[in-house]
Amino acid sequence: MGLLEELTKDTGMIPESITSLSVVEMENRVKEIKNQLGKKLFIPGHHYQKDEVIQFADAVGDSLQLAQISAQNKEAEHIVFCGVHFMAETADILTDDNQVVILPDMRAGCSMADMADIYQTENAWDKLMELFGDSIIPLTYVNSTAAIKSFVGKNGGATVTSSNAHKMVKWALGEKERILFLPDQHLGRNTAADLGIPLNEMAIWDPIRNELVFDGDIQKIKVILWKGHCSVHENFTVENVKQVRNEHPDMKIIVHPECRREVVEKSDLNGSTKFIIETIENAPSGSSWAIGTEMNLVKRLIQQHPDKKIISLNPYMCPCLTMNRIDLPHLLWSLENIVNGKVENIIKVNDEVSTNAIFALERMLERV
Ligand code: 13P
Ligand code: SF4
């Protein structure tokens, strides 16, 4: 079954034997299965997951940390990945063949990752080669499909996460004259701008129109930004920043670099999920913060730091809906399937794709 069918198929797959349980019964059963399977089971959980799931994670981290932890784990036979599809694919690529990666709900995709498909990317590359010759290195945010990682690995490039993007962009520009940055234009633009590359040396690649968008001498282009974005982080606006500045003049604003450039520019700090968490942890008691990132994480930070005033930069913000697909019933269902020997929702990247994607991931992992 293709990913689109998986994402749109009926959700009624969770049997009544699970949906009829109370929350406490479900929690107790998860604990029981975790005890039974011990180290043969590993549950990584991304920071954007709901509390009902994160309470059972064996490791909680951002996408870089979870990739590193998955690569190191050699004991688990089953890895039940509480995150989104591209993260589970990355775990499968980095783990051994006898380790099975499971995504509790196949509809847990990432709208940004879906904004670059492999056919668009190959078409773009052909055109860019015609325009620039062999002067471009591709970089892809880990929020991309395994096929895109494979394409990037095959063409000498690497993956990046929000916590190592600066280092990786610097490395890439030491390798070639210009980079193609997929699929998040905002992370690419914010990172390149922080490194001192002027906005007028950045172009956009529009995958729908299959064309380069740039005004000026194209030989000056240093960064080609794929026209993709995160539909969650794009919801933070300059208006939100103005409102916080008016209503809470002492409040510091910290945002994820998936936010638009103008929002990042007007904020006090920007950085990866890990950077945001560490900044709040290290902030003095009594300090106040408006955070521009995913809502499950913001809510958790509010609970964990009652001595600090914390709000969402956008008061009407929702959680990432695809991250939210993973809930307690889906987690329990995946675990029951393991116990019953009928494992479902296995994420398996084919060997050819995996071989090249590993090059891209390893070029990143050896530099962080
Ligand atoms: P991190 O790389 O910070 O974990 O972010 C992943 C993500 O999906 C952000 O939207
Ligand atoms: Fe994808 Fe955005 Fe959700 Fe992160 S927050 S998983 S980039 S849609």
Distance CA 366, CA 368 (A): 6
Does the Cβ of 235 fall within 6 Å of ligand 2? Answer: no
The answer to whether residue 141 scores a pLDDT higher than 50 is yes
pLDDT number for residue 318:
87
Ligand 1, atom 8, lies closest to the CA of 143
Q: What is the mean pLDDT of residues 97-112?
A: 96
**Ligand lying closest to the C-alpha of residue 65:** 1
Smallest Cα–Cα separation from 82: which of 47, 113, 112?
Answer: 47
pLDDT number for residue 63:
85
Distance in Å, CA 131 to ligand 1 centroid: 32
The answer to whether residue 13 scores a pLDDT higher than 90 is no
Q: Are strands 211-213 and 269-270 parallel, antiparallel or unpaired?
A: unpaired
**Ligand lying closest to the C-alpha of residue 275:** 1
Distance CA 164, CA 197 (A): 17
pLDDT number for residue 368:
81
In sequence order, the 6+-apart residues with CB closer than 8 A to the CB of 240 are 263, 292, 313, 314, 315
Ligand 2, atom 1, lies closest to the CA of 110
The answer to whether residue 4 scores a pLDDT higher than 50 is no
- Please report the atom of ligand 2 found closest to the CA of residue 84: 6
Ligand 2, atom 6, lies closest to the CA of 110
Does the Cβ of 296 fall within 6 Å of ligand 2? Answer: no
Q: What angle do CA 199, 204, 209 make, to 5 degrees?
A: 160
pLDDT number for residue 67:
82
Distance in Å, CA 22 to ligand 1 centroid: 32
Distance in Å, CA 199 to ligand 1 centroid: 24
The answer to whether residue 12 scores a pLDDT higher than 60 is no
Exposure string over 21-41, b if 16+ CB within 10 A, otherwise e: beeeebbebbeebeeebeeeb
- Please report the atom of ligand 2 found closest to the CA of residue 294: 5
Chain centroid to CA 317: 18
pLDDT tens for residues 187-244?
999 999 999 999 999 999 999 999 999 999 999 999 999 999 999 999 999 999 999 9
pLDDT tens for residues 302-320?
999 999 999 999 999 889 9
pLDDT tens for residues 238-284?
999 999 999 999 999 999 999 999 999 999 999 999 999 999 999 99
Distance in Å, CA 232 to ligand 2 centroid: 6
Cβ(331)–Cβ(56) below 8 Å:
yes
Q: Measured between alpha carbons, how far is residue 361 from residues 2, 173, 197 in Å?
A: 24, 18, 25
Distance in Å, CA 189 to ligand 1 centroid: 16
Cβ(228)–Cβ(116) below 8 Å:
yes
pLDDT number for residue 211:
97
pLDDT number for residue 8:
44
Distance in Å, CA 346 to ligand 2 centroid: 21
Domains of the chain: residue spans and CATH: 3-109+322-349 (3.40.50.10800), 113-230 (3.40.50.10800), 233-312 (3.40.50.10800)
Q: What is the mean pLDDT of residues 80-108?
A: 96
Mutational pocket test of ligand 2: of 320, 324, 325, the residue with most ligand atoms within 8 Å of the beta carbon: 320
Question: Is residue 226 exposed (0-12), middle (13-18) or buried (19+ Cβ within 10 Å)?
Answer: buried
Question: Ligand 1: residues within 6 Å at CB?
Answer: 62-63, 143, 161-162, 230, 258, 272-273
**Ligand lying closest to the C-alpha of residue 85:** 2
Does the Cβ of 326 fall within 6 Å of ligand 2? Answer: no
